[in-house]
A and B are shown apart, each in its own frame.
Chain A
Amino acid sequence: GENVEQHPSTLSVQEGDSAVIKCTYSDSASNYFPWYKQELGKRPQLIIDIRSNVGEKKDQRIAVTLNKTAKHFSLHITETQPEDSAVYFCAASGGNDMRFGAGTRLTVKP
């Protein structure tokens, strides 16, 4: 089955700096790659997603890039703010189920 690895496990940045989180996947049939943000004690919430027919997608300060050949995708957050502090999960899906990375705890220092 699909295996998703996510790095780093923790990331600390200064407010205003950029943050990058990287994920790799193993199943070449995977074609859908969402990113979720989870605040403490809350549900995971979708922040951006990308499908395999697209190499990059951007939504304001958030962007995701996908390299199908290398089987990796990344989340980029620019101009980070303290409210960006949370745990971020990547995921990959090629059919009916979805596999998640272990998560990255992002801390944005004011």
Chain B
Amino acid sequence: NAGVTQTPKFRVLKTGQSMTLLCAQDMNHEYMYWYRQDPGMGLRLIHYSVGEGTTAKGEVPDGYNVSRLKKQNFLLGLESAAPSQTSVYFCASKQGRQPQHFGDGTRLSIL
């Protein structure tokens, strides 16, 4: 049982480049989340989705876009990467009132 899988695990970008982070879950969960984790700041919610075809903004949505075209996938896009977006990105999913399950994270560096 894979759970929550994030790809890629590591990526280095140049300022201005674009990329998409993929989160896939095989637990048939309705809810999916994207967080960023920076030293001393915990996990901050970027965007989330309460079901296929829906998305909503979290605490720090600026500079990111998301899509949930399929229930099992939640994509996080950076249209024009900036050094301030250097971070570790975590995806999570949950069903109903159950706890969130996290992926292993994507370490993103923007030069």
Please give the residue numbers on chain A whose beta carbons come within 8 Å of chain B beta carbons, in ascending order: 1, 6, 9, 32, 34, 42-46, 49, 89, 91, 96-103
Contacts and interface: CB of A to CB of B under 8 A. Distances in A.
A45 B43 CA distance: 13
A54 B89 CA distance: 32
Interface of B: 31, 33, 35, 40-45, 48, 50, 56, 58-59, 90, 97, 99-100, 102-105
Given A97-B45, A97-B58, A102-B40, 14 more contacts: A6-B42, A34-B99, A44-B43, A91-B43, A96-B48, A97-B48, A97-B56, A98-B33, A98-B45, A98-B100, A100-B35, A100-B44, A102-B41, A102-B42
Given A96-B31, A96-B50, A96-B56, A44 B90 contact: yes
9 contacts: A32-B97, A34-B100, A44-B102, A45-B102, A96-B50, A97-B33, A98-B33, A99-B45, A100-B43
A100 B90 contact: no
Nearest to A43: B102
A9 B40 contact: yes
Nearest to B50: A96
Contacts of B102: 43-45
A34 B102 CA distance: 13
- Most chain A CB within 10 A, of B33, B42, B97, is at B42
A100 B36 CA distance: 11
A73 to B, nearest CB: 15
Contact of B90 (A43, A91, A97): A43
Nearest to A90: B42
A103 B42 contact: yes
Contacts of A49: 99
B104 A43 contact: yes
A89 B35 CA distance: 14
